[in-house]
Amino acid sequence: MIAHLFGTITEKLATSIIIDVQGVGYEVILTAPDIERLNLNDQTKLYTYHAIRDNSEELYGFSSLTAKRLFELLISVNSVGPKAAMSILSLGTPEEVRNAIANTDSSFIAKASGVGKKSAERVIVDLRDKVGAPSKYGTSIEGFVPATALPNDEALDALIALGFPLKEASAALAEVDPTLTTEERIKLALKHR
| pLDDT averaged per 10 residues, the chain (length 193) | 93 95 96 92 95 92 92 93 94 89 89 91 90 55 41 76 77 83 87 74
pLDDT at 161: 77
pLDDT at 152: 62
86 φ, ψ (degrees, to nearest 5) = -65, -35
Distance CA(190)–CA(169), nearest Å, equals 9
Per-residue buried b or exposed e for 97-122, using 16+ beta carbons within 10 Å of the residue's own CB: bbbbbbbebbebbbbbeebeeebbeb
pLDDT at 27: 96
pLDDT at 156: 82
Q: Rounded to the nearest 10 degrees, what angle do helices 65-75 and 94-102 cross at?
A: 40
155, 185 contact by CB (below 8 A): yes
pLDDT at 20: 97
